[in-house]
Amino acid sequence: MIKIGLEIHCQLTTLRSKLFCSCAANYRKYKPNLNTCPICLGMPGTLPLINKKAIEKAIILALTLDCKIPNKIIFYRKNYFYPDLPKNFQITQLNVDDCYTSIGYDGKLKLQNKFIEINRIQLEEDPGRINYVTISEKSKLTLIDYNRSGISLIEIVTKPNFTSNIEVKEFLEHLSNLLIHLDISDPSLAGSLRTDVNISTDNHNKVELKNINSVHDLEKAVNFEIVRQRNFINRNIEIQQETRHWDERRKITISARSKETEQDYRYFIEQDIPSILIPHNLVSRLHKTMPESIIYKKAKYSKLGIPNQVADTILSDLYYTKLFESSYTDKNAKHIANIITTDLIRYLNTKEQISKSKLTSQHLVRLSELVSENKLKRDLIKNVLREAILTGASIDNILSKLNLEQIDDMTMISQIIDTIINSESDLIKQIHNNPNVINHLIGKIMTKTGNVQPKIIITLLKSKLNISND
């Protein structure tokens, strides 16, 4: 029996400042150690001042994950000695026994046909960043950058409900999408989403895999560790309770140290930050004003008659979601969803392509109108879309430029059909013996008429040739 639990560390990349000081949250744009101050460097005599927006965003995530929100939250000092931690302790949160003082607890998130239980969500500061540099085989440097020190971090701790690396991967992809749609974090930024994994096999000792930075690596690391533990059990070798790291180059986990317990960290309440009350009206206001989660949106799209698979594609990228949200109505929702997931996705599936696109929601609205009114053939949408993406011109101007304006004059269509029939007199004689003749004629007529619905052409042609429509 495989039991897997996750500890997911998510940076609040959409904030302007760090958790306890006014240094910039976007530390990535600075040269090493230039985005610091006495507070985030842990200088004696400095006092932390909590970032209110960080608390609000953490509450929003807790609400989305169906967590309970306590009446007050408390911060603790987690004591350990490591070069990236200038204070020699980390300000974090802790639930002690039945006293719940972290930002959220007892939540859940549905994964396929099962729920993943959320033990707790806590707010804490990120440590600095250590960079190991190899100068030569005998010379190595350890460089420390404190620009990241003090960045707002949400830790999401799940219960050991996962049984495979596939479930872990699916959960993290779903959670990443939630964080983007809630405007909490951009998981695509390096180091913004880091995961620790706890794995035990057949109730043997638990092993922790530390600080895995990508979903791809996480899936491979979990799979390797499951195989490693099973091999140990089959050979009657004891599994050590330890912390292991993922060696990306060799694609294996390697032992780092024995696993610490909570007692090793000597937690005690952070005296410089008083207990913070979370009033019910604040939680209620955040619940009413927070962005719609993908869970809510998917349920909303289902009521519009949009299949789950199509909804998942729309929700897979915030660009598609915003485009759909700004263009759909109850009447055109299916057409808009179809255009995005069938046609648009071919041309706009990278950040670079999206950034250069001149397409707007007005383009999609007009396209859906033409399709629903049978004024634009379905197979021509991609040509029109491509032009709209490149130029931003109106749909009607594009139709004119590409000679795709629909011919509404039935007399003109009839004359074109008569011309084709007269030019193909030899083929007409074979029409009752060779069913392919009719298709050949329809194809020739459509090249002359352009954007005319095939049904109209077929009906007129068969009428002129005295062929039944059955």
Nearest to 108 by CA among 76, 62, 170, 65: 65
- Among 192-206, 259-273, 373-387, 440-454, the range with the most confident prediction by mean pLDDT is 192-206
**Predicted local confidence at residue 269, as pLDDT:** 95
Residues 112 and 261 both lie in one domain: yes
450 in a domain, yes or no?
Answer: yes
**Predicted local confidence at residue 421, as pLDDT:** 76
**Predicted local confidence at residue 26, as pLDDT:** 96
Q: How far apart are the first and last CA of the chain?
A: 61
Taking residues 342-365, what's their average pLDDT? 92
Residue 470 has pLDDT above 60, yes or no: no
**Predicted local confidence at residue 373, as pLDDT:** 82
Residues 106 and 204 both lie in one domain: yes
Residue 408 has pLDDT above 80, yes or no: no
469 in a domain, yes or no?
Answer: no
123 in a domain, yes or no?
Answer: yes
Residues 344 and 416 both lie in one domain: no
**Predicted local confidence at residue 407, as pLDDT:** 56
Output 185 or 445, whichever has higher pLDDT.
185
**Predicted local confidence at residue 140, as pLDDT:** 83
**Predicted local confidence at residue 349, as pLDDT:** 86
Residues 255 and 392 both lie in one domain: no
* Cα–Cα distance, 468 to 212 (Å, whole number): 67
Residues 359 and 340 both lie in one domain: yes
Phi, psi of 69 (to 5 degrees): -110, 125
**Predicted local confidence at residue 124, as pLDDT:** 98
Q: How many CA atoms lie within 13 A of 156 on its CB side?
A: 28
425 in a domain, yes or no?
Answer: yes
**Predicted local confidence at residue 62, as pLDDT:** 97
287 in a domain, yes or no?
Answer: no
Residues 325 and 387 both lie in one domain: yes
Residues 255 and 376 both lie in one domain: no
pLDDT tens-digit profile of 299-324? 999 999 999 999 999 999 999 999 99
Residue environment code for 307-338, b if the CB has 16+ CB neighbours within 10 A, otherwise e = eeebbebbbbbebbbebbeebbeeebbbbbbb
Decide which of 401, 422, 445 is a domain's last residue.
Answer: 401
Residues 126 and 172 both lie in one domain: yes
Decide which of 238, 255, 280 is a domain's last residue.
Answer: 280
Residues 316 and 439 both lie in one domain: no
Q: 429 lies in which domain range?
A: 410-464
Residues 423 and 381 both lie in one domain: no
pLDDT tens-digit profile of 25-81? 999 999 999 999 999 999 999 999 999 999 999 999 999 999 999 999 999 999 999
pLDDT tens-digit profile of 139-178? 888 999 999 999 999 999 999 999 999 999 999 999 999 9
**Predicted local confidence at residue 444, as pLDDT:** 74
Residues 158 and 275 both lie in one domain: yes
Residue 337 has pLDDT above 80, yes or no: yes
Nearest to 246 by CA among 274, 276, 278, 214: 214
Taking residues 458-465, what's their average pLDDT? 72
**Predicted local confidence at residue 64, as pLDDT:** 95
Residues 339 and 419 both lie in one domain: no
Percent of the chain with pLDDT over 70: 93
Angle at 413 between CA 411 and CA 418, to 5 degrees: 95
- Average model confidence (pLDDT) across the chain: 89
**Predicted local confidence at residue 468, as pLDDT:** 67
Beta bridge partners of 196: 7
104 in a domain, yes or no?
Answer: yes
pLDDT tens-digit profile of 416-425? 777 777 777 7
Residue 428 has pLDDT above 80, yes or no: no
Output 411 or 21, whichever has higher pLDDT.
21
Give the total number of structural domains in the chain: 3
251 in a domain, yes or no?
Answer: yes
**Predicted local confidence at residue 460, as pLDDT:** 72
285 in a domain, yes or no?
Answer: no
Q: Are 188 and 195 in contact (CB under 8 A)?
A: no
* Cα–Cα distance, 135 to 15 (Å, whole number): 37
Decide which of 280, 307, 326 is a domain's last residue.
Answer: 280
Q: Are 265 and 78 in contact (CB under 8 A)?
A: yes
Residue 138 binned pLDDT confidence (cut-offs 50, 70, 90): confident
Output 406 or 27, whichever has higher pLDDT.
27
Taking residues 74-94, what's their average pLDDT? 94
